[in-house]
Amino acid sequence: MVKLNVQLSKAGSAAPDAASSTQGAPAAGTLPDGDPRILEARNVTISYSGNPAVRGVSLEFPERKVTAIIGPSGCGKSTLLRSFNRMNDFVEGVGIDGQLLYRGIDIHDPRVDPMELRLKIGMVFQKPNPFPKSIYRNVAWGPKINRYDGNIKQLVEESLRKAALWDEVKDRLDDSALGLSGGQQQRLCIARALAMSPEVILMDEPCSALDPVSTSRIEDLIFELKKTFTIVIVTHNMQQAARVSDTTAFLELGKLIEVGETDQMFTKPREKRTEDYVSGRFG
Ligand SMILES: Nc1ncnc2c1ncn2[C@@H]1O[C@H](COP(=O)(O)OP(=O)(O)O)[C@@H](O)[C@H]1O
Ligand SMILES: [Mg+2]
């Protein structure tokens, strides 16, 4: 498959030289410099064996912000989130209509290599899922198989530092990751994602299996990470959405009911359904 290498790396803010390069016109589909939209869903419908789980959703995700997706269980949050890095490719019977864009590039363009897309758009799951390997090898593994040619030890340290885990593990990097606490395992999974130098991190209820102390560490970490990364977080926990996100999108039965600044969504929602949900009347 032909890669969209040029376009994806040109589009990325991680490559400022490429972005300011004067070689040729901008790649087709990329956005003008300075456009904050890093991800966008345009009238997206996602169905499982013909049954729609996400219905006609249009949403924009600005760069270096945290966007929370909230809504009752089964409303399509995970389905929507997974579509942005084409994780739904692995699910049998999925049909996607509409457009999903990464920096203006249609991610289903046949020239887009989903593996490359997933390097740009990393993912952290509900249940921490470290590999049954050492702490070090969990972080080093992705860069190694992607033929990272820098100093891998340094990359591992940097990634663990960015994930606020380094101090807790620096003396036991060769120990099994499975010996870490749940909260540490989740920060390790974040470090593993960061080691790939993504631009976006998709988080699907990353704290739902964690205790309150570990949850608050992850929330602090999200606050730090958004200086560099764009974060989309699905959460069940409305206090968490209110604490960590800049923008909140409320979904119900697969439809986007309302999206707005988080403060507004929690204090003066425009829609009655949003108000009922954020005030705990259902869900
Ligand atoms: N792999 C799948 N196969 C068939 N249906 C699915 C699959 N994953 C999710 N669904 C259905 O799609 C709807 C949305 O699910 P999901 O995106 O997981 O919601 P949420 O994350 O908001 O709880 C639900 O009705 C769910 O049963
Ligand atoms: Mg879910």
* Local structure of 4: helix, strand or coil: coil
Dihedral of alpha carbons 264, 202, 189, 48, sign: positive
Q: In the prediction, which pLDDT does 32 show?
A: 77
Residues having CB within 6 Å of any atom of ligand 1? 48, 53, 71, 73-79, 91
Domains of the chain: 5-278 (3.40.50.300)
Rounded CA gap, 126 and 99, in Å?
Answer: 26
List, run by run, the mean pLDDT of 10-residue segments along the chain (283 residues).
46 39 45 85 98 98 96 96 95 96 95 94 95 98 94 97 96 98 96 96 95 94 95 94 97 98 97 95 80
Q: Is the pTM of this model over 0.85?
A: yes
Residue nearest to atom 18 of ligand 1 (CA): 78
Rounded CA gap, 41 and 63, in Å?
Answer: 14
Q: How far is the CA of 54 from the centre of ligand 1 (A)?
A: 9
Q: In the prediction, which pLDDT does 36 show?
A: 84
Q: In the prediction, which pLDDT does 18 show?
A: 38
Which residue of 46, 47, 48 sits with most ligand 1 atoms within 8 Å of its CB, as the best mutation to test the pocket?
48
* Local structure of 147: helix, strand or coil: coil
Which amino acid does the sequence have at 34?
A: G
Q: In the prediction, which pLDDT does 280 show?
A: 87
Q: In the prediction, which pLDDT does 30 show?
A: 67
Question: Which numbered atom of ligand 1 lies nearest the CA of 251?
Answer: 22
Question: Which numbered atom of ligand 1 lies nearest the CA of 49?
Answer: 4
Compute and round to an integer the Cα radius of gyration of the chain: 19
Crossing angle, helix 152-162 and helix 182-194, to 10 degrees?
Answer: 130
Rounded CA gap, 44 and 96, in Å?
Answer: 7
Q: In the prediction, which pLDDT does 16 show?
A: 37
The predicted-structure confidence for 74-109, as pLDDT tens digits, reads as follows 999 999 999 999 999 999 999 999 999 999 999 999
Residue nearest to atom 16 of ligand 1 (CA): 76
Ligand nearest to the CA of 87: 1
Ligand nearest to the CA of 48: 1
Rounded CA gap, 50 and 56, in Å?
Answer: 14
Residue nearest to atom 8 of ligand 1 (CA): 79
